[in-house]
Amino acid sequence: MEENKKRKKIEEFVEIMLDACEKQFPKKCSCCGRYFDTFQDFLTHTIIPVHSKDHSLQLIDSQDLHDVIAFRNCSCGTTMTVQCAVDKPQKKDLVHAISEEARERGVEPEDVAQLLRDEVIKRAKACNTAKR
């Protein structure tokens, strides 16, 4: 019971993830050199890779190393990544929240991660995400 009180819900991570993503810009494609000024610019001019349409937000949880990475393809076809959480406690909290939400809903963690990804993208496209 105490654990549930402390656990963040995935919705609480949307702003954290937006902020973490925004801080990584400007960003440049390593292949064609295209320059993305803001996260919003990046989302507008890249696409989710076709081969990972359903699982483009990867949760990496190996030997206590947690990371949350989103994959996007530049218009030249190069796959680029954006880290969606920055510090280690934040990553662990996010991975835990996704796992718990998946368990509660009776779905796979990747399904919950995609819902979260979609909400972050929706909010980012809806507002000006230029660096603050």
Tens of pLDDT, residues 20-40: 889 999 999 999 999 999 999
Contact 112/98 with Cβ under 8 angstroms? yes
- pLDDT category at 66 given cuts 50, 70, 90 is low
Query: Could you say which DSSP state residue 86 is in?
Result: -
Contact 55/43 with Cβ under 8 angstroms? no
Closest CA to 25 of 13, 44, 42: 42
What does the pLDDT average to over 84-106?
83
pTM score, whole prediction: 0.73
Exposure of 111 by Cβ count < 10 A (0-12 exposed, 13-18 middle, 19+ buried)?
middle
